[in-house]
């Protein structure tokens, strides 16, 4: 596998080795030892799968005070995937990184605990897979507005469909400090 560091320390793009021929393909989507060599550690406690229509934007989500690390990939379709550093005290606080994930390339994105995460479907429908380091807990559910002008995420389109919940998420500057992860902790 090829691991590419993003400009945000800890956020990694993983390009798995794909073995293909006329019959189809095979790839390893996770191997604890190989991923640990690149700083991607569990424990892995929950896997999720979502399906979204073209133009659907989900995010920017995080959990606090029990943050989740997420290893994400696309099984069908294509998404623009984004990680935002929301860790208080981080030198890259408020910065984001985006990359294209699709079923053809099989690329994955590692979003460490302490980052908000979201995606928009650019070709779909898209089936999106999440491998998480902490279970989802509704009482810890939190998020940042996908269109926060201070973050200025360069989404491929602003003509998107968001849930009612996501449409009401606050700007990063309006989130109380004690509701954000802390850098280095």
Statement: residue 185 has pLDDT above 80: no
pLDDT value at position 113? 96
117 φ, ψ (degrees, to nearest 5): -140, 145
pLDDT value at position 27? 86
* 130 belongs to the catalytic site: yes
- 40 vs 69: CA distance, rounded Å: 9
Identify how many contiguous H helices and E strands the chain contains and give both numbers. 2, 11
The catalytic residue among 35, 97, 117, 130 is 130
- 81 vs 19: CA distance, rounded Å: 25
The catalytic residue among 35, 38, 41, 61 is 61
* 183 belongs to the catalytic site: no
Output the six-digit token pair for 137: 């807990």
Q: Which CATH entry fits the domain spanning 2-16+40-176: 3.20.20.70, 3.40.50.11720, 3.40.50.150, 2.60.120.10? A: 2.60.120.10
Give percent of the chain above pLDDT 90: 91
Among 119, 99, 116, CA closest to 107:
99
Give percent of the chain above pLDDT 70: 100
- Where residue 80 falls among pLDDT bands split at 50, 70, 90? very high
Statement: residue 151 has pLDDT above 90: yes
Domain boundaries, the chain: 2-16+40-176
pLDDT value at position 55? 98
Least confident of 15-24, 37-46, 126-135: 15-24
DSSP track, 84-105: EE--BT-TTTT-EEEEEEETTT
């Amino acid at each position: 596998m090829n691991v590419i560091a993003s400009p945000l320390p800890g956020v990694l793009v993983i390009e798995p080795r794909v073995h293909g021929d006329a019959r189809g393909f095979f790839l390893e989507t996770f191997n604890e030892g190989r991923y640990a060599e690149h700083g991607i550690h569990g424990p892995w406690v929950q896997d999720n799968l979502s399906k979204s229509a073209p133009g659907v934007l989900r995010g920017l989500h995080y959990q606090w005070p029990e943050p989740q690390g997420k290893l994400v990939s696309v099984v069908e379709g294509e998404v623009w995937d984004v990680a935002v550093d929301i860790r208080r005290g981080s030198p890259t606080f408020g910065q984001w990184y985006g990359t294209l994930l699709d079923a053809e390339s099989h690329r994955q994105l590692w979003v460490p605990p302490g980052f908000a995460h979201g995606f928009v479907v650019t070709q779909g429908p898209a089936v999106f897979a999440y491998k998480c380091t902490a279970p989802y807990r509704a009482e810890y559910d939190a998020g940042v507005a996908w269109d926060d002008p201070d973050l200025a995420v360069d989404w491929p389109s602003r003509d998107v469909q968001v849930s009612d919940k996501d449409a009401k998420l606050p700007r990063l500057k309006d989130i109380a400090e004690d509701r954000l992860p802390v850098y280095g902790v």
